Amino acid sequence: MLTSANFVFRHSVGTIYGYISSQGLQKLMLYNERAPKPYLLHETPNILLGRLLTTLLDRYFSGIPEQFEQVPLDISCGTHFQKKVWNALQQVPWGRTYTYAELAMLAGLSSKYARAVGKAVGNNPIPIIIPCHRILNSDHSLGGFSAGLEWKKKLLQIERIVLTKEGIIDRK
């Protein structure tokens, strides 16, 4: 759980807190109104990155396809396996969904690693930028999301992915 932040982004969809290290964006927390608010640090080690994030997140939440390639990331907290999965997640295009098995194959692993991949996805420290919300169960149901299913639904809807009672239908 993020207890302090040096980046905050407010939008009608919700509030996002983040931490920027000297190497790049290290953590984003999609704020849940029922959770305690993180302490906002006054020090900003990289104000330019904060401005870039604000611009890109504004574009994203306006429905403009954004892959966030220009955002430097600090994923040093992850294991080798997690980093492999998080890097593969960044290849999942805006407006598309993959299953955990498909993501495993995208990461160069067998689909038998789907469960382990799911665990790595669940530990993603930078949601939206590393788009874990685009990953679904094998039956195309939503599965879980670290910030809660309401956030996941909002993010998928922003990307024009149609939600149905039976599961998800990709925008093609």
pLDDT digits (tens, 9 = 90+) for 46-100: 678 888 999 999 999 999 999 899 999 999 999 999 999 999 999 999 999 999 9
- Give the residue among 56, 46, 10 at the shortest CA–CA distance from 31: 10
Contact of 45 with 21, CB cutoff 8 Å: yes
Q: In the 3-class helix/strand/coil scheme, how is 37-82 assigned residue by residue?
A: CCEECCCCCCHHHHHHHHHHHHHHHCCCCCCCCCCCECCCCCCHHH
How much is the pTM? 0.88
Query: What would the two tokens of residue 151 be?
Result: 């956030």
Distances 127 to 68, 90, 113 between C-alpha atoms, Å? 11, 10, 21
Burial class (CB in 10 A: 0-12, 13-18, 19+), 100: buried
Proportion of the chain above pLDDT 70, given as a percent: 88
Contact of 54 with 25, CB cutoff 8 Å: no
What pLDDT does 167 receive?
A: 65
pLDDT digits (tens, 9 = 90+) for 99-154: 999 999 999 999 999 999 999 999 999 999 999 999 999 988 898 898 999 999 99
Q: How many CA within 13 A on the CB side of residue 108?
A: 8
What pLDDT does 98 receive?
A: 95
Choice among 20, 28, 104, 132 that is catalytic: 132
What pLDDT does 34 receive?
A: 75
Residue type, 165: K
Query: What would the two tokens of residue 42 be?
Result: 């006054």
Residues 6+ apart with CB under 8 A from 47: none
Q: How many CA within 13 A on the CB side of residue 107?
A: 29
Annotated catalytic, 77?
Answer: no
